[in-house]
Structure 1
Amino acid sequence: MDNQDPHPEIVVSPPTDTGMYPSNGAHSQDIPYDPLPLTQDPPRDTIYHDLPSPHASGFDTPPVEMSYFSDTTPPGAAQPRFLGAALYDDPTNNHRDSFASQNTQNTFRTAPSVVNSSVYALNPENPEAEHSGAYHDDPHEPEYIPGSGRGASSDSPRYLAEKRAAYTVPRLKSKRGLIIAGSILAAVLVLVAVVVPIYFVVIKPKSSSSNNNSASPSSPTSTSTSSGSPSSAVIVTGGDGSTVTTEDGTTFTYSNPFGGTWYWDPQNPFNNNAQAQSWTPPLNQTFQFGTDRIFGVNLGGWLTTEPFMQKYPSAIDEWTLSQYMAADSSSGGLSQLETHYQTFITEQDFAEIAGAGLNFVRIPLPYWAIEVRSGEPFLPKTSWTYFLKAIQWARKYGLRINLDFHALPGSQNGWNHSGKFGTVNVLYGPMGIANAQRSLDYIRIIAEFISQPEYKDVVVIFGITNEPQGTPIGQDALSRYYMQAYNYVREASGIGEGNGPFISYHDGFLGLSKWADWLPNADRIALDDHPYICFDAQSSAPMSSYAQTPCTTWGGLMNTSMSAFGLTAAGEFSNAVTDCGLYVNGVGLGTRYEGNYTPGTWPVIGSCTPWTDWQNWDSTMKSGIQQFALASMDALQNWFFWTWKIGNSSTSGVVESPQWSYQLGLQNGWMPKDPRAASGTCANQGLWSPPLQAWQTGGAGAGQIPATVTASYTWPPATISNAGAVSSLPSYTPTGTVATLPPPTFTYSSGSSVTTAKAGNGWQNPSDTASGMVAIATCSYLNPWVGTAAAPSPLCS
């Protein structure tokens, strides 16, 4: 698929969660992503040895002294983490032409596959024969035409000739026989004329519903975008080489060499028959976490954007982008964002993801998908509409979703991908509790929606908060917040396998070991780590020198955590080993590699061009990147690459951060076409062996958290960092109306009638009747994004 951005003024989706350090404010701490050693000693400039004391990891880490846009940024502001728009920030307009934002044997459990079915025994014995393994039963083929010269002695299959010989119809020898045969044939035709419509109108939909464990048994089967008579011949499923027709009537050829099948019946929109690959369970079967591997990819920059419109070069986050758009009414105002939603990720992307051997997508979703409040400039609720499309497309191609709650009110990390670059304001600072209360409400709303039977088998992981800054927040406050989120999700879904999603917790950059044995016996929780290596000290060592680095560093950490905590996955990683690329660090911040990064003083390692000029990469460079990708996949075991695609720059017309784009790597030969090929790359690393403990997958003992543990994580905390006692801080009151998320509408026409499917009401647990957190009318509040400030007066807790 062409990843050309349809809007010439747009360069879409720089890799967002690119790891950096928090700010040099009151809460300054070094929180890098996991640095990795090289597997061979690289040539290093002597200036490297003048760097400050080593990081805790043992990797030399330069000081972090943040002063980003010092005239406008408040003290304590965190560094932005995105591929920012550096092109337009050079006042001389002499911008650097850098480029930026983008098997061994199968050891996994194999699900039943169509390629193993008995019909394929009819294939030619010679796999290189004309039909190359495809089953053909066409009587018009030359081998079945007398006199074609291709009889039993040809290369064609002999099986069909034998089949026809065995089932030859006897010749009728009398007129009486002909009359009897004609009568029988007429009766059969009448029977067919009666039975077939009944089957397709009544029996088949009912049967599909009864076999579909994600849909309400009494739900009508319909779609909002398709209409027609139920008896019309509509193709609802297909495999490799089949033609797919999308909502707008366009078509494309489905390419999936791994036995995957798509399934979309307009009359049964909640059918879960689709299967991404033969080795991945179809959606109507249970995904065995810990045994079945997660091969995932992020859809970064789609529903949660970062600076990507070169039309607005001063936009540094979605907050400022929204302000510029809103002021530009002649160009469509904020509706320009919806154009981005419509065009950047489409149904064909989901089809290609399944065809790439991937079985999961991680989708970053911001809080403004639910609502906005006074003064917040984001486009409200619209991205939710496109998340519903993502569920529909994932269901169609057998993919499962990890919903990543990516941007919280006030910001959980102060980085641009949280919506507004600046300071941490969740569980930190004077508005830290109020923002956390509001965030927990949104977690509850999302959990109620995705726990409904129509969605729970597609959205199977809920990442409740992306990358909170654990060091300034503190693990105690973060743990209490995590515990309260756990209660909300499980209240929505219930306890036990199949009841709602796995709850995924980011490690807060505190390290996986800090969460060992946290919340024992909790029902289906997972730990999320984001290992990047490109934001520490830079090196000009060749890509080949990183061949085993992920194995020696990440493999052991993952092995330990899978045993000590339970399911552990890398929610993000990439192929980048340097910070080269437009927008990698931020708008106008330069790169460490070229020595012009702000803040701090960095040695000049070299030019970024060799790392970004992918059109001129040779086979050695490509094979080096692929080897690094394979090692990463094997070491991490369960993973989501950041990111699936990156739009072409409107300036250069090409992808400008190639080591961040899975799609570009597939198209140009540096990503494996089959992720199972990674198995065994980390030889003798003692990779963790399944299964998980029963309670970790919703089995026996799940949810029976010891009372002493729950007592230690009561909500709210007594104090929070940079603010003091919670009792003296602004807080909200539970008297508001909860913003229930709307379901999609599916209808289909049959003659003169229109049927609407039951798609849920957005709220799984009707017993959950608590009100929403809102401001108290007689109290004073600070701006949710305020950072450091004195508490307001009068204060009402």
Structure 2
Amino acid sequence: MSGPQYDPLPLHLDHRDDIPYNVPHSPGMPPSGLHTPEAEPFELHGDDLGALRPRFMGQALNDGGPEPRASYASSGHSLPLSNDNQSSVYGLNPTGQATRDTAYYSMQYRDDPHDADFNGSTPNVGMYKDELQSTPYLSEKREAYLPPKARSKRRMWVLGGVVVGVVAIVAIVVAVYFTVVKPHSNKDTVSGGASKGGSKGSSSSTSSSSSPQNTGKPAVQAAVTGGDGSTVTMEDGTTFIYQNSFGGYWYWDENDPFNNGARAQSWSPALNETFQYGVDKIRGVNIGGWLTTEPFIVPALYEPYVNSSNPAVDEWTLSQNMAADTANGGMQQLVNHYETFVTEKDFAEIAGAGLNWVRVSVPFWAIETRSGEPFLPKTCWQYFLKAVQWARKYGLRINLDLHALPGSQNGWNHSGRLGSINLLNGPMGLANAQRALDYIRVLAEFISQPEYKDVVAMFGVTNEPQAPVFGQENLARYYMQAYDIVRTASGIGEGNGPFISFHEGFMGLSAWAGYYPNSDRTSLDIHQYLCFSGQSAAGYDQRATDPCTAWASVQNDSMSAYGFTIAAEFSNALNDCGLWVNGVNLGARYEGNYPGGPWPVIGSCDPWTDYSQWNDTMKQGIQQFALASMDALQNYFFWTWKIGNSSVTGKVESPVWSYQLGLQEGWMPKDPRAAVGTCGNTDPWVGPLQSWQTGGAGAGQIPATFTSSYAWPPTSISGGGAATLLPTYTQTGPIPTLPVPTFTESSGSTANAGSGWENTADNSGMAVPIPTCSYLDPWVGSAAPPSPLCSSAAKRGIPVPPPIITSAP
């Protein structure tokens, strides 16, 4: 029996829901290719099989079905299932695709039953309830291939068995072909990675120059990509099974290490596609406590030293204790922490959890330290480079967060040193700000390189600066200078360097309405917590809608009044219970023993921290609170991905702060999209943003009246006085360019990883002391400026006072 030979389906695919599937691609958008279920040389037709060349209902999709099936989301954002004519198997076989950045959208079956983010559709009934269920595609295939009535039952049983056997064999062969053979063959044509050394502003889909040359040696047939259920091989040779039920797929090829073809989920743009801020949602999580340690996140690092003569309460004192503890490895203990606390598997799990961004906290000592600073210098930068590699592999975008700055920007332990605020405050406030701006410049130059800009897509220039202490005007001046520095490194316009994120400095979002008009890709960041204010015994069942009431309308208003607004931190905590959440041995407001009281005793923290005793009602209440928070904040990063075990109790002592633990124990949503509509917001903010806010027309044309009003440097510094009377640095020091990673290809050659510095015209020196001027210790706190400020016999340094506790906001 023979049948008609069907042609490939002439569809054009775009990753955005709002673009029809039969129109030409947007400029700069890589085509997804034409799909057919057949891939030479594995043909399925022929008289001997007694079956048609299968189309898997492709013709119905083109002619009879108005929408792509949800499971077809791997080639773009999905639309809801409308009828069974739209076969789930259609997306299995992406033949005819010539480019690596699009060739793996549909290499295996992925179901996407709940994609109402942009089209406002209702989730598929029966497919999405409390959590995703397994796909019914096999039964749909059986219905699509019912035997003709004219055939005998015996013949149909025989043919059916043959067809099922052949289909099973072909499915295996096709999967191997598209995960092993096809990726490698595409590798030598066009790469989806960033251009090495290409011109600024070049598309992220520019051909990679790091592709190996033909050496005449046989190609190594190794899988370089995979989806749900595929085997991932890590750098050390160990493997694990990738779990991602959302259509995401990883990509890593040692011969093309800057390929950006990976996708976190079907609804999230791949790294070589445009992320539409204000339309595409940021659903992110923080990688806190890793490269900038915090006692409550990694208590086991601190617990050996909390009772020493110099208790470890921040990374400053932790470093001092570790350096002296040579018997236990000294500072190697911190390196061991970098190696083990966060690994590649964490990034794979984050993508599999339905999250598409990570915010990675980095301290200034990733670049350098200066005299008297005990931090381990430069080492954590090597692990940030690993984070970039892992994020690239799993399709995650990074918000680089400069978390700890010279002198401390807020006086809290996560700024590096608990105690006084010395950034934009006190006699060294201006000099420390100069130094901080230099570090912003070094980081901006690195991440603006074409090899990194599509992965490190956002830059939070300063975490939680204390504007109530040093004033919003001076913070605005500092931000204006940081903006100029980042854009000098990257250039103006979409695709040139990162989005710049400004924390609101505890002034509130409304205080920044109208700031930085026409600035190129800037965003406003707020950290929303309900746990550090007044304490209450009310449980999650009574406070499930608190995030909606407190945050939703404020976030909406800021999206209109300022522009793109994110919540780079929030948690599930209702109170300040948890080991060292407030700081080492500082107690809790909830129990009435936090400094600065009196605090009324609400109760014991034990029921809030012993998650082994939580019942399903408690877990469902936390999950509902998380969903309300996500819906209210719209674009967010949960704080934080993981909390380490206490070495004393052997378990997590601040459980509601851990996204990973919440997934494992059942109080975090398995699909963050389930949050949409939780708050019942009848008037949510709807994009897109104005053109200049996303790098389009008018971007970067900030009015001169604004720039002159917020010119750098400030005229005076809080706690210090007139800027002309304070120590400042001179821009004549050597530039500490950050090192790039090394990738050795199978041919033995080294891939081009950039120079570490994007704008070669940006060559002014670093801020360093003037030899004839006097300086206080950068962490001095309150003190009088040197007098005379500069002379031929100037001396530097005075003793640093003991730390004081800066109250939480």
2:347 maps to which of 345, 350, 360: 350
Structure 1 residue 766, shift from structure 2 partner: 0.8
Structure 2 residue 637 is the aligned partner of structure 1 residue 640: yes
SS in 2 for 1:695: helix
Structure 1 regions of 5+ residues with no counterpart?
1-104, 138-142, 144-148, 165-196
Structure 2 regions of 5+ residues with no counterpart?
1-68, 79-86, 94-107, 112-125, 142-146, 148-152, 169-179, 196-202, 792-809
| Structure-1 residue corresponding to 2:520 | 523
Q: Distance in 2 between matches of 1:228 and 1:298?
A: 45
Q: TM-score, normalised by structure 2?
A: 0.75
Structure 1 residue 110, shift from structure 2 partner: 9.2
Structure 1 residue 205, shift from structure 2 partner: 2.9
Q: 8 Å contact 2:193–2:272 — kept in the other structure? A: no
| Structure-1 residue corresponding to 2:776 | 782
Give the AA of the match of 1:332.
Answer: G
Give the AA of the match of 2:436.
Answer: S
| Structure-2 residue corresponding to 1:4 | none
Structure 1 residue 120, shift from structure 2 partner: 4.9
Q: 8 Å contact 1:228–1:749 — kept in the other structure? A: no
Structure 1 residue 356, shift from structure 2 partner: 0.1
Q: Summarize the Cα distance change of 1:261–1:130 in structure 2 as closer, same or farther, 3 Å threshold.
A: closer
Q: 8 Å contact 1:221–1:266 — kept in the other structure? A: no
Structure 1 residue 720, shift from structure 2 partner: 1.1
Residues 271-670 of structure 1 mapped to structure 2, 5 A cutoff: 271-307=259-295, 308=299, 309=301, 310-313=303-306, 314-670=311-667
Q: 8 Å contact 2:74–2:247 — kept in the other structure? A: no
Give the AA of the match of 1:728.
Answer: L
1:681 maps to which of 663, 678, 687: 678
Q: Distance in 1 between matches of 2:731 and 2:483?
A: 19
Structure 2 residue 217 is the aligned partner of structure 1 residue 253: no
Structure 1 residue 620, shift from structure 2 partner: 1.2
Q: 8 Å contact 2:89–2:137 — kept in the other structure? A: no
| Structure-1 residue corresponding to 2:758 | 764
- Bigger mean CA offset, 540-549 vs 283-292: 540-549
| Structure-1 residue corresponding to 2:6 | none
Q: 8 Å contact 1:290–1:691 — kept in the other structure? A: yes
Structure 1 residue 338, shift from structure 2 partner: 0.7
Q: Distance in 1 between matches of 2:346 and 2:184?
A: 32
Q: 8 Å contact 1:214–1:455 — kept in the other structure? A: no
Q: Distance in 2 between matches of 1:229 and 1:679?
A: 52
Structure 1 residue 222, shift from structure 2 partner: 7.4
Q: Distance in 1 between matches of 2:217 and 2:324?
A: 47
Q: Distance in 2 between matches of 1:135 and 1:440?
A: 60
| Structure-2 residue corresponding to 1:219 | 209
Q: Distance in 2 between matches of 1:648 and 1:198?
A: 43
Structure 2 residue 222 is the aligned partner of structure 1 residue 234: yes
SS in 1 for 2:188: helix
Q: Distance in 2 between matches of 1:118 and 1:614?
A: 44
Q: CA RMSD in A?
A: 3.3
Q: Distance in 1 between matches of 2:323 and 2:368?
A: 17
Q: Distance in 1 between matches of 2:508 and 2:250?
A: 39
SS in 2 for 1:755: coil
Q: Distance in 2 between matches of 1:151 and 1:789?
A: 95
Give per-residue Cα distances to partners, 1:286-329, cap 9 Å, x unaligned: 10010000000000100000233211112000000000011111
Q: Distance in 2 between matches of 1:258 and 1:300?
A: 25
Q: Distance in 2 between matches of 1:719 and 1:554?
A: 34
How many pairs were matched up? 643
Q: Distance in 2 between matches of 1:129 and 1:539?
A: 37
Q: Summarize the Cα distance change of 1:156–1:266 in structure 2 as closer, same or farther, 3 Å threshold.
A: farther
Q: Summarize the Cα distance change of 1:326–1:507 in structure 2 as closer, same or farther, 3 Å threshold.
A: same
| Structure-2 residue corresponding to 1:746 | 743
| Structure-1 residue corresponding to 2:76 | 112
Q: Distance in 1 between matches of 2:254 and 2:216?
A: 9
Q: 8 Å contact 1:205–1:267 — kept in the other structure? A: no
Q: Summarize the Cα distance change of 1:548–1:376 in structure 2 as closer, same or farther, 3 Å threshold.
A: same
Q: Summarize the Cα distance change of 1:305–1:157 in structure 2 as closer, same or farther, 3 Å threshold.
A: farther
Structure 1 residue 536, shift from structure 2 partner: 1.1
Structure 1 residue 136, shift from structure 2 partner: 13
Give the AA of the match of 2:372.
Answer: G
Q: 8 Å contact 2:540–2:621 — kept in the other structure? A: yes
Q: 8 Å contact 2:503–2:526 — kept in the other structure? A: yes
| Structure-1 residue corresponding to 2:767 | 773
Q: Distance in 2 between matches of 1:150 and 1:255?
A: 41
Q: 8 Å contact 1:123–1:134 — kept in the other structure? A: no
Q: 8 Å contact 2:89–2:109 — kept in the other structure? A: no
Q: 8 Å contact 2:254–2:746 — kept in the other structure? A: no
| Structure-2 residue corresponding to 1:796 | 790
Q: Summarize the Cα distance change of 1:372–1:620 in structure 2 as closer, same or farther, 3 Å threshold.
A: same
Structure 1 residue 528, shift from structure 2 partner: 0.4
Q: TM-score, normalised by structure 1?
A: 0.76
Q: Distance in 1 between matches of 2:488 and 2:134?
A: 58
Give the AA of the match of 1:312.
Answer: Y
Q: Distance in 1 between matches of 2:525 and 2:280?
A: 17
Q: Summarize the Cα distance change of 1:522–1:592 in structure 2 as closer, same or farther, 3 Å threshold.
A: same
Give per-residue Cα distances to partners, 1:147-180, cap 9 Å, x unaligned: xx9984699799769999xxxxxxxxxxxxxxxx
Q: Distance in 2 between matches of 1:703 and 1:367?
A: 27
| Structure-2 residue corresponding to 1:13 | none
Give per-residue Cα distances to partners, 1:403-424, cap 9 Å, x unaligned: 0000001000011100001111
Structure 1 residue 124, shift from structure 2 partner: 14
Q: Summarize the Cα distance change of 1:134–1:266 in structure 2 as closer, same or farther, 3 Å threshold.
A: farther
Q: 8 Å contact 2:287–2:640 — kept in the other structure? A: yes
Q: Summarize the Cα distance change of 1:616–1:720 in structure 2 as closer, same or farther, 3 Å threshold.
A: same
Q: Distance in 1 between matches of 2:564 and 2:207?
A: 32
| Structure-2 residue corresponding to 1:86 | none
Structure 1 residue 118, shift from structure 2 partner: 1.9
Q: 8 Å contact 2:194–2:258 — kept in the other structure? A: no
Q: Distance in 2 between matches of 1:394 and 1:373?
A: 31
Q: Summarize the Cα distance change of 1:517–1:151 in structure 2 as closer, same or farther, 3 Å threshold.
A: farther
Give the AA of the match of 2:90.
Answer: S
Structure 1 residue 520, shift from structure 2 partner: 0.4
SS in 2 for 1:401: strand
1:755 maps to which of 743, 749, 753: 749
Q: Distance in 2 between matches of 1:495 and 1:671?
A: 39
2:715 maps to which of 715, 718, 741: 718
Structure 2 residue 121 is the aligned partner of structure 1 residue 133: no
Q: 8 Å contact 2:513–2:561 — kept in the other structure? A: yes
Q: 8 Å contact 1:643–1:661 — kept in the other structure? A: yes
Structure 1 residue 333, shift from structure 2 partner: 1.2
Q: Distance in 1 between matches of 2:399 and 2:89?
A: 31
Q: Distance in 1 between matches of 2:731 and 2:476?
A: 22
Give per-residue Cα distances to partners, 1:564-597, cap 9 Å, x unaligned: 0111000100000011111111111111111112
